[in-house]
Structure 1
Amino acid sequence: MQRKNHDPDGPQAENALFVQSLARGMSVLEAFHDADGALSLGQIATRTGLTRSAAQRLVHTFRTLGYLTLAEDGRGFRLDLPILDLTHDYLRLNPLVRRASPILLDLRRNVRERVDLSLFDGQRMVYAARMQSKRETFFATLVGNSVPTTCTSGGWAVMAMLPPTEVDQILDEASLRPLTPRTLTDPQAIRDQVALAREAGHALALEQILMGEVALGVAIPDASGRPIAAIHIAGSLSEWDPEEFRRRNAPLAAEAVRSIMSA
């Protein structure tokens, strides 16, 4: 899912504490989001809105620090290993991920299907833990992959815990592009699913992200009751009747959320 990159020259640049040069440097790293491969200097300049000379200086700096490297064919640049060090540190130090990890492992053993932890980030749910099944594709298994809040079981469960005005704002700002022939794109149909999730305490999504997939989501609130994440359990419709999947897995997911909250 497309993430909105930060604009280093946006309104925040007027703040005396805002370091614009640092923001421009970060925009170079953010330029690689959703890229299909290595980026040339010109592509980086275009994606960031920087001049070619500014992009060149920043790319050289990140190469010196190890965060960027020259692609194997010498025709562009790609992110390098120190980026993974930052990812590891984020996951290692995130208190929710730390509390949830052993509980998710137990849940995966019990359900024997894919189990995910996704973090709520407005228009998207970002996967912070992925315990995949044998059916998964490469990109679907990567931590950091994100999906729209409006068409996922975890997203619907999260929206069910939000005030109606915030749900309306998410829907108003969403692109609502279909990912499968069954992806809900009508705002009222999505509101109906959110209402069902509010009543049941979980959401069930059929073929919203992948054809042939059934997914159940339960939101995780913080201490104030605001949803910050969700647990997803996903299976195959070739192996599960949707209501059987719900009956089998909803209590286990709900118990996992309670364990995470009390950990």
Structure 2
Amino acid sequence: MQQLRDGETEQDVEDSFSGDPNYMASLARGLAVIQAFSAQRRLLSTSQISQRTGIPRAAVRRCLYTLNKLGFVDSEDGRNFALRPRILALGHAYLGSTPLARAGQPVLRHVSSSVNESSSIAILDGDEILYIARAFTSRIMTVDLDIGSRLPAVCTSMGRAMLSRLPAAEQSQLLDRARLVQHTPHTIAERTALEAELARVAEQGYAIIDQELEIGLRSIAVPIIAADGRAAAAINVGVQAARVSREDLLLRVLPVLREAAEELALLAG
């Protein structure tokens, strides 16, 4: 199922597939109910899920009933629902079959230990990046991210590293869909400026996000290039801007990331 964009409902998605005899609306609705939950919304009522997805309350109740019987959701009071640990099995099947997610973990640990900073691998999923592997240090970052987290591709270092490798037509189509939000005073939120930045990233082979997503957060990423020349994924290191300069990222972190990306490219196919 495609990820819903801001302002889009499951009904909008169903309407886009109207007339397709192979489209299973009940399955799509069940997946939409699951995706309504998040780290910020761990407990949701039927009405709240209906509002978030656009699915009628009666259909949401049937989805929750089925998911509860299958062990994917639970409710202590019969009104508010939460995901159960069994939901992890859905993502585990993907992560377990993805070489970059499996083999990337020791590479990330090496990167993190080499530069003493947290590092990540993400793939491009629509106009978002999806984290598939993480290695942490003891440092505390203000952005709470883990495997399965999503962020807008246009304002993340890994997103821009991957977007810069897309053919021009695909890149343009993705930018047409993307919401350019001014997260901080440093965010590039104008289409022409963003296109110029992506061209610069393509030329230099790395992307730096300097407090564009959140004040105090700086990151650098390089693409993991598959045999066909596309970016299969990207790898990054995130740092606290007050502690690590852009120059330090280029001199100390970038060589380590490039070496790791070359190693991971062997798994990208």
Shared fold per TM-score greater than 0.5: yes
Q: 5+ unaligned residues in a row in structure 1: which ranges?
A: none
Deviates more, 1:145-154 or 1:162-171: 162-171
Write out aligned runs for 1:24-103 (5 A).
24-33=29-38, 36-70=41-75, 72=76, 74-103=78-107
- Given candidates 199, 203, 207, the residue that maps to 1:203 is 207
Question: What do the CA deviations read for 1:150-199 (whole angstroms, capped 9, x no partner)?
Answer: 11111221122112222222222221112222111112222222122112
What is the CA–CA distance in structure 2 between the aligned matches of 1:189 and 1:169, rounded to whole Å? Answer: 16
Please give the alpha-carbon distance, in whole angstroms, between the structure 2 residues aligned to 1:75 and 1:55: 12
- Pairs within 5 Å for 1:63-212: 63-70=68-75, 72=76, 74-133=78-137, 134-137=139-142, 140-212=144-216
Which residue does 1:255 correspond to in 2? 259
SS at match of 2:47: helix
How many pairs were matched up? 260
Between the two proteins, what is the percent identity of the paired residues?
Answer: 32
Q: What runs of 5+ residues in structure 2 fail to find an aligned partner?
A: none
> CA–CA distance in 2 between the matches of 1:3 and 1:108?
33
Give, in whole Å, the separation in 2 of the partners of 1:203 and 1:145: 20
Instruction: Determine if contact 2:224/2:235 at 8 Å carries over to the other structure.
Output: yes
CA distance in structure 1 between the partners assigned to 2:209 and 2:144 by the alignment: 17
Cα-to-partner distance string for 1:227-253 (whole Å, 9 max, x where unaligned): 231101111222222112112111111
**1:6-31 CA distances to partner (integer Å, 9 max, x unpaired)?**
55623435333332222222222122
Q: Report if aligned partners of 2:111, 2:119 keep a CA contact under 8 Å in 1.
A: yes
1:94-129 CA-to-partner distances (Å, cap 9, x unmatched) read 122123222112111111111011111131111111
Root mean square deviation of aligned Cα: 2.2
* Cα distance in 1 for residues equivalent to 2:258 and 2:26: 45
Q: CA deviation at 1:76?
A: 0.9
Contact kept, 8 Å, 1:153 with 1:232, in 2: the verdict is yes
Query: Secondary structure at 1:219's aligned position in 2?
Result: strand
Moved more, 187-196 or 26-35: 26-35
Q: Structure 1 residues 213, 41: closer, same or farther in 2, change over 3 A? A: closer
2:124 match: secondary structure:
strand
**Residue pair 1:13, 1:20 contacting (<8 A) in 2 also:** no
